[in-house]
Amino acid sequence: QVQLVESGGGLVQPGGSLRLSCAASGFTLANTAIGWFRQAPGKEREGVSCISSSDGITYYADSVKGRFTISRDNNKNTVYLQMNSLKPEDTAVYYCATDGVVPDCEDNDYDYWGQGTQVTVSS
């Protein structure tokens, strides 16, 4: 019953910006942590960012700190990833993920995943 649908990806030049969205259904987003992950060709999946429920504590990979911002709109059951100053190494398929239950990023099992949205940063 849990469903996650990512959108907002595309082709941008280095230094450009994109805003990714993850529409959640089948659970109450306000009660759970949700994270963004990415997978580049030939590489394993890596964590990008996460936001906890209620207190809104956020986490970022060192590679994106200062450039990416995660946020949520609980009324819309949607999380966002604002990506600025994009670099070619940001090119990947971006996924949102959650278990739909656990409120803390560090303890979430991330059982459910969206289909992903492609982000390509190239000149």
Q: Is the pLDDT of residue 56 over 90?
A: no
Query: Rounded to an integer, what is the distance from CA 26 to the centroid of its chain?
Result: 18
Q: What is the mean pLDDT of residues 18-25?
A: 97
Does pLDDT of 66 surpass 80? yes
What is the overall mean pLDDT for the chain?
Answer: 96
Residue 119 parent element (H or E):
strand 117-121
